[in-house]
Amino acid sequence: MPKGAELNPKQKAFCVEYVKDSNATQAAIRAGYSPKTASAKGCQLLRIVKIQESLTMFTEKKAKDVGVNAAWVLAEAIDLYKECRLEGDRTAANKSLDNVGRHIDIKAWDKTVAIDASDSLIAILEEARKRAQGD
């Protein structure tokens, strides 16, 4: 950071505390701000550009230190989907599959389809697959 743009000790403490649980009020209290004004102070601190930059740096460092990145999250979600399918837990499998789709921005479910008794479920699913594949 350029000279004069450094955080004061309480602001630094707020950043360290905020990355623990993303709770601005509790981070402000743990950083030494008054519990009576911690909620407002936490919101105020989060609007400071220097603090936003510091939080970004802390978060990126934390993710790097534990080896978490987008590829890891995607791989874990796919593994969880497969495990849920094998165990027969359709609800959890569908949630995992939805997370995978959102992660890689597949818009398979963007179109709402009205279904009546004359519609073939297989035809509806085939149409959704074609939309997802960009056909």
The model carries a pTM of 0.50
Helix, strand, coil: what percent of the chain each, to 5?
A: 70, 0, 30
> Does residue 99 sit in the same domain as residue 114?
no
37 belongs to a structural domain:
yes
Q: State whether residue 32 is helix, strand or coil.
A: coil
> Does residue 45 sit in the same domain as residue 18?
yes
Strands annotated E in 20-120: none
Tally of domains in the chain: 3
Task: Give residue 20's pLDDT.
Answer: 87
Per-residue pLDDT of the chain (135 residues; tens, 9 = 90+): 444 468 999 999 999 999 888 899 999 999 999 999 999 999 999 999 999 999 998 888 877 777 777 777 778 888 888 888 889 888 888 888 777 777 666 655 555 556 565 566 667 667 777 777 775
27: Cβ–Cβ under 8 A, 6 or more apart, which residues? 14, 17, 18, 20, 21, 42
3 belongs to a structural domain:
no
124: Cβ–Cβ under 8 A, 6 or more apart, which residues? 113, 115
Task: Give residue 124's pLDDT.
Answer: 67
The two tokens of residue 112 are 């709402």
Q: 88: alpha, beta or left, given left = phi > 0 and alpha = psi -120 to 50?
A: left
2 belongs to a structural domain:
no
Task: Give residue 2's pLDDT.
Answer: 43
Amino acid at 131: R
Structural domain harbouring 112: 108-135
Structural contact between residues 50 and 57, judged by C-beta atoms closer than 8 angstroms: no
